[in-house]
Amino acid sequence: MARGQQASEELTEVLNQLWLLDTNRQKPGTDYIISLQGKAGYVAHGSNYARDRARAPLFAYVNEDKLKSIETYAHFINLLDNYEMSTGVSETVTSEELKENKLFIDAILETDVMKCAHKYLVGKGQSPSDPAQFKRQLYDIWFSLYHRDRRGGEDSSGFEHVFVGETKYGREIMGLHNWVQFYLQEKHGHVDYKGYKARGNKNTPDEDDHVLNLQFSWKGLVKPVGGSFIGVSPEFEVALFTIIFLMSTEKMTSVVVKVDEYMLELVVYRHGGSIGTSFPKLLSSNNRDL
């Protein structure tokens, strides 16, 4: 799959199956409420100043008790404090953290979402049918440590980059594409939402959209634009991006696909046998060109 290539009918079908099977997806307006506010402006490359077009947080409400009562979310949340923020600082994985990683993988493999992804990947000859071997494959893709910054040791992983976020040379935000982490960082005063990003001036995203392009600052650094699913389960994101990763050998894969009402560009960069980064870009929703 090359850059911006339209997804095949088969790939489109399986990604939509994952969407339908995601029973742990949270319901906008009920399980959480977001406040989109203003459209974010341009941020110059390398600048850490962004005009704030959103005085209030993005998340006005999240039912944390419900999240923590769902096994996959509970294990996911336990992983978010296991990482060094800055690249160039070697990660140290304790035995407790190793156990938490494995508990998370065990939990998501019990879901219909991951069972569907596994079946598809086995059928395509990309994953072993044995559950224990598939678990090892997932671990290597998401949790194996690698060098992202040559100044340090093994300082990064796919999970850290995509779901937790990290900084480069203390000057640039990388990753942080997960809504639960965004909410928790916002709640603790580390994230400042600056507004949504959209092409053109006529159309704006809806507050019940499950995919957003947004601008924010994190611990004083600005991310000019980042794409994120909103409300979806961690198993859905792992399943979706694992499929895109394994179905291509390119360093960068970009596939355009319609999932539910959303026309998305799904982007995955590989770092050897692991994910370097992965994120969605919202192109349109309900035929609204964003």
Instruction: Give the domain ranges of the chain.
Output: 9-39+52-247
Of 185, 167, 203, 190, the C-alpha closest to 285 is 203
What single letter denotes the amino acid at residue 278?
Answer: S
Indicate if 210 belongs to the active site: no
Contact at 8 Å (CB) between 78 and 143?
Answer: no
What is residue 147's predicted lDDT score, i.e. its pLDDT?
Answer: 61
Q: Is the pLDDT of residue 91 over 80?
A: no
The predicted model scores a pTM of 0.92
The CB density around residue 182, as the number of other CB atoms within 10 Å, is 25
3-state helix vs strand vs coil in the chain, percent to 5: 35, 25, 40
User: What's the pLDDT score for residue 174?
Assistant: 83
CA angle 79–84–88, rounded 5-degree value: 140
Q: What is the pLDDT of residues 104-135, one digit of tens each?
A: 999 999 999 999 999 999 999 999 999 999 99
Pair 221, 46: CB distance under 8 Å? no
* pLDDT for residue 149 is more than 70: no
DSSP 57: -
User: Quick check: 88 pLDDT over 80?
Assistant: no
> Of 104, 45, 66, which Cα lies nearest the Cα of 183?
66
Active-site choice (75, 177, 194, 210): 177
40, 194 Cβ separation under 8 angstroms: yes
> Per-residue pLDDT averaged across 139-144, rounded?
92
pLDDT digits (tens, 9 = 90+) for 243-280: 999 999 999 999 999 999 999 999 999 988 999 999 99
- Give the lowest-confidence range in 47-51, 173-177, 198-202: 198-202
DSSP state at residue 202 = S
Of 161, 194, 210, 281, the catalytic one is: 161
Cα 120 from Cα 113, distance rounded (Å) = 11
Cα separation, 261 vs 85, whole angstroms: 35
**pLDDT > 90 fraction of the chain, expressed in percent and rounded:** 68
Distance CA 197, CA 181 (A): 19
Query: Which of 167, 161, 140, 194 has the alpha carbon at shortest distance from 80?
Result: 161
As a three-state string, the secondary structure of 23-43 is CCCCCECCCEEECCCCECCCC
- Does residue 4 surpass a pLDDT of 50? yes
Q: Which residue has the tokens 């994985």?
A: 93
The per-residue pLDDT for 266 is 96
CA–CA distances in Å: residue 123 to residues 86, 165, 212, 275:
39, 33, 32, 22
Judge whether 135 counts as a catalytic residue: no
- pLDDT category at 155 given cuts 50, 70, 90 is low
Model confidence at 162, pLDDT cuts 50, 70, 90, reads: very high
Which of 258, 262, 287, 272 shows the shortest CA–CA distance to 9? Answer: 258
Is 161 labeled as catalytic in the residue annotation? yes
Lowest mean pLDDT among 14-23, 201-210, 232-241, 243-252: 201-210
What's the pLDDT band for 148 if we cut at 50, 70, 90? Answer: low
Instruction: With cut-offs at 50, 70 and 90, classify the pLDDT of residue 152.
Output: low
pLDDT tens digit string along 18-73? Answer: 999 999 999 999 999 999 999 999 888 777 888 999 999 999 999 999 999 999 99
State which amino acid sits at residue 234.
P
Q: Are 56 and 155 in contact (CB under 8 A)?
A: no
Residue 94: what pLDDT? 74
**Nearest in space to 278 (alpha carbons), one of 256, 248, 245:** 245
Q: 214, 211, 176, 173: which is closest to 195 by C-alpha? A: 214
Strand pairing report for 166-168 and 252-259: unpaired
Q: Which of 75, 194, 197, 223 is catalytic?
A: 223
